[in-house]
Amino acid sequence: MAKGIREIKRQIKSKQNMRQITKAMEMVAASKLKKAQNSAEAARPYADKIKEVIGSIAAGTKGIKHPMLQSREIKKTGYLVITSDRGLAGGYNANVLRKVINTIHERHKSNDEFAIFVVGRKGRDFFKRRNIAIHEEVTGLPDAPSFADIKAVAAAAVRGFEKGEYDQLYLVYNQFINAISQTPVEKRLLPLDDMKTSGPTTDYEYEPSPEAVLEVLLPKYAETLIYSAVLESKASEFGARMTAMGSATKNATKMINGLTLQYNRARQAAITQEISEIVAGANAL
């Protein structure tokens, strides 16, 4: 009986240590979540302003043609998948990877019909285990990524569309709803065939020409949308990790309470048995 009591006590201590870890991770994720939300919101005005300028050029100048603005026959599709480098975030990675692999199976008959770009170690490992070629990858992003951190994969994805290597490009990532809700979404990034802006537009004078300005702004706009998706994914990651660690802390507390009750009952049974043995010995004398 003493051995059983010691084992229960050891399990209680182990669960208490685990609860301390999960509680600390929950608090860290909560603090990082607010910063990630602010970063995602701060990136939106820049993208909106670029879109306004592009829409003004497209509306005020006739006959402008650019590969990024024109739809074409779909022969090959590009997917830029955004995941995290670490786990312990509930279904954050599993949900977005399940969505992209189901989409690939539905739309394509062979691996030659799509191209994969990946942000995050979890996504990279997922596709490598399935022998799916990755055109460009970025891993090891900091908690507050800058545009320079993802510029390589963003530029490669946009450049591939411009060169005609694929005919459309999709972003697949977790859209941030709130701290406890993140939804995996698939958004078409290219071609940019809907650049009309609502409301009044500003008239601009362009040097050297509207076409030259458009040549620079369109890739920057597409890359900015990718960066915004990365920032939103970071906020989703911290929200998912905070929720997952909160649930783990609650589960650990329930297990500790159950083990404590079991320990008390075992200890009471051991004491009762000892008393019974003492009484039986006294009666024998």
Largest CA distance in the chain: 114
The upper half-sphere exposure of residue 168, i.e. CA atoms within 13 Å in the direction of its Cβ, equals 14
Q: CB under 8 Å to 268, separation ≥6 — which residues?
A: none
Output the pLDDT for position 41. 82
- Interval 24-50: pLDDT, tens: 999 999 999 989 988 888 887 887 777
Residue 78: strand, helix, or coil: strand
- Interval 132-141: pLDDT, tens: 999 999 999 9
Output the pLDDT for position 203. 67
Q: CB under 8 Å to 178, separation ≥6 — which residues?
A: 239
Output the pLDDT for position 142. 93
Q: Which of 252, 256, 246, 255 is nearest to 25 (CA)?
A: 246
Helical spans, DSSP H, in 117-197: 121-129, 147-162
For the chain, list residues with pLDDT below 50.
Answer: none
Output the pLDDT for position 277. 74
Q: What is the CATH number of domain 2-26+244-277?
A: 1.10.287.80
**168-178 and 181-190 beta bridge pairing:** antiparallel
**Cβ(245)–Cβ(25) below 8 Å:** yes
How long a stretch of residues is the chain?
Answer: 285
Domain boundaries, the chain: 2-26+244-277, 40-240
**Cβ(85)–Cβ(122) below 8 Å:** yes
Which token pair is 151? 């510029």
How far is the CA of 202 from the CAs of 54, 63, 174, 194, in angstroms? 11, 20, 34, 18
Give dist(CA 166, CA 40) in Å, integer.
28
Burial group, residue 139, by CB count within 10 angstroms (0-12, 13-18, 19+): middle
Please check whether the domain covering 40-240 is classified as CATH 3.40.1380.10: yes
Which token pair is 85? 């480098």
